[in-house]
Every structure is written in structure tokens, then in C-alpha cells.
Amino acid sequence: MSTKEELQLWIDGAKAYKQGDLETALLHFEPITSLSKVAFNVGMIYTRFNDHASADMLYSSALASDPFLAVAFLQKAYAYFMLEDYSRAERCYNKLFELLRENDYIDYAQLGLKYRLYRCEVHFNKAMCAFMSADNARGVQGIAAAQKCARSADHQAIIASAARGGINDITLFTVPYEAIFEVPECKVKNLDQRSFMKDAKVVITTDENESFAGFTGAAILNPALSDSTLDYPKGDDGKPAVALTILRRPTLASVSTAIPQSPTDRSPLSA
């Protein structure tokens, strides 16, 4: 398959996804899951199907192609959390800290994903794993660490609420369902004029003023920079869709009652 054909499948799959046609999106995406960002997108679809074991496989595939794709570790940790494997989820969060290095967040807009992965969210999610493992002391420490590096008012409110109210329910920060990797606009415009190298990987580079990731990588930005120029997915209330609230066990599985079930013949685990 040519690179042009791969890009067209990616474009068509993203269009179907945004229209809510997940089955058609899968049909377009599945032949090109060798591309790390497309594998991530398929993982997002299985997450929406509430098929977390299959989602984990796709996020692992994305990371096999691109080990620096930190956002895949975030979603992989969520899959483990929903499977109640909290120790593996914590290991994913530890890997995220390695990839964040000393930065407060990673911005994926340059890679086609309208999402920012914040350090405070990783601290918070890791604390939730500790609470679910009955390690309350470590959970409290994690909440405190999240409070120290929270920058936005939304983050501060969510974390402060957890600090005040305890863990009657569990809130995890995840990539919003609306956000997937799309083909960068420059590639869409030039689709008929040129060909592109195989799926670009994120590579870490050092600059005197800031750290960033690759020529098409996610810019790791200074927290002082403004968010105002980026149009990120919004929730029904018009605010950025950054958090998903999950009921504690034994009702944990009820979180996705409105999410369609994964057809068995579509799941990679059924092969």
C-alpha cells in the first residue's frame, strides 16, 4: 500500500470517527495500524467499546512503533485501571514521568491530536491507583504532588475536591473521546503533490530555551505559554473535556453503560 493510500485511509477513518460511525472508522484504520498514531486511534475506539483488553493491545502496538508516544501510556494505564490491574497502571504512570522529564505538560497539537498531557494529571491518576490498592498514605502523597504542579483552574478544582472529599468516587484524567490523531493539515493539503516518509516517530531534542519532541513531534512547552490559541475538545458545558469520573467498586463496570459493546468479530482478542 502506498503512503498516499495510507493517508487517505487515515483521513477517511478520522472523518467516520468524528461522525460517530466507529465501525466504519475501524474498517479504515485497521489496515494501517502499523502507524503508531492510527494504532492509538483504534485503541480509543476499543476504549469506547469498553473492550479494555483489546484497547491495551492497540496502545501497546502504538508504543512498539513509537516508544516516545507518552499519551499511549496514559490510555494504557486507563485500560489497566478499568481491568483493576492497578500495579500495571502505576507502572505506566511512572513511565509517563520519565517521558515528561522536568516539563509540566506535553502538547500533541503538532502531531494532530488536540490534547495536552499534564504532569499534575499523572500524579493524580497514580494517586487513584494507590487508593484503589488500599494504600491511602501514598494516595494522599500523590494528591499533594498533583496540587503542587496544577496550573489551570479546572485542574485545581478537581484536585482540591478530591483532597477535601476523600475518594467516595474516583476521577481519572484521560484523553477525551472526541480527540484522536488526525492527519496534519499540511499533509492533507499536499496529498496529491508529494509522498511522505513512513509514520514519523517522536524523538527528543534539546534546545537552549525549551525542550521539544521531533520535527512532527509533540512540543513540550513552557507552562508560561498561553493555551488561548488552541481549540481543544469541549464538554457539554463548554469547558475542556479533561476528566472522566469512575464509580468505585463494586460498581466500577457501570461507568460505560452508554458506550456500545465491541462486536466480537472486531476485537483483536477474538482472533
Instruction: Output the pLDDT for position 252.
Output: 34
The residue ranges of every structural domain in the chain are 3-270
> What is the mean predicted confidence (pLDDT) over 183-197?
69
How much is the pLDDT for 88?
98
Q: For residues 176 and 242, is the Cβ–Cβ distance under 8 A?
A: yes
Dist CA 95 CA 134 (whole Å):
22
pLDDT at 188: 79
- Which triple of cell numbers denotes residue 251? 460498581
> Helix 153-165 crosses helix 119-132 at what angle (to 10 degrees)?
20
Q: Look at residue 199 and tell me whether its pLDDT is greater than 70.
A: no
Chain centroid to CA 166: 25
pLDDT category of residue 227 using cuts at 50, 70 and 90:
very low
Distance CA 125, CA 172 (A): 6
What residue spans of 101-244 are helical by DSSP H?
A: 119-132, 136-149, 153-165, 185-189
Closest CA to 147 of 174, 177, 175, 119: 119
Q: Is beta strand 243-246 parallel, antiparallel or unpaired with respect to 204-206? A: unpaired
Look at residue 218 and tell me whether its pLDDT is greater than 50.
no
Q: What is the CATH number of domain 3-270?
A: 1.25.40.10
Mean pLDDT over residues 82-98, rounded? 97
pLDDT of the residue at 161: 85
Q: What is the pLDDT of residues 54-80, one digit of tens each?
A: 999 999 999 999 999 999 999 999 999
* pLDDT score of 115: 94
**Spacing of C-alpha 111 from chain mean position:** 13
Q: Is the pLDDT of residue 243 over 90?
A: no
Instruction: Identify whether the C-beta of residue 203 lies closer than 8 Å to the C-beta of residue 213.
Output: yes
Per cent of the chain over pLDDT 90 is 57
Listed residue (55, 62, 44, 97) closest to 80, CA to CA: 55
| Residue for grid cell 494517586 | 127
Q: Please report which confidence band the pLDDT of residue 171 belongs to, taking 50, 70 and 90 as the band edges.
A: confident
Set of cell numbers at residue 78: 486507563
pLDDT band at residue 167, thresholds of 50, 70 and 90? low
Is a pLDDT exceeding 50 seen at residue 180? yes
Tell me the C-alpha distance between 10 and 18, whole Å: 12
pLDDT given for residue 249 in this prediction: 37
Q: Which residue has the higher pLDDT, 249 or 139?
A: 139
Given this model, what pLDDT does residue 163 score? 82
Assess whether pLDDT exceeds 90 at residue 122. yes
pLDDT range class, residue 111, cuts 50, 70, 90:
very high
Rounded to the nearest integer, the mean pLDDT of the chain is 78
pLDDT over 60 (residue 172): yes
In the structure grid, which three cell numbers stand for residue 210, read together? 525549551
User: What would the pLDDT profile of 22-55 be if each residue is shown by its tens digit?
Assistant: 999 999 999 999 999 999 999 999 999 999 999 9
Task: State how far the Cα of 186 lies from the Cα of 179, in Å rounded to an integer.
Answer: 19
> Which three cell numbers mark 159?
484536585
- What span, in angstroms and rounded, lies between the C-alpha atoms of 183 and 146? 33
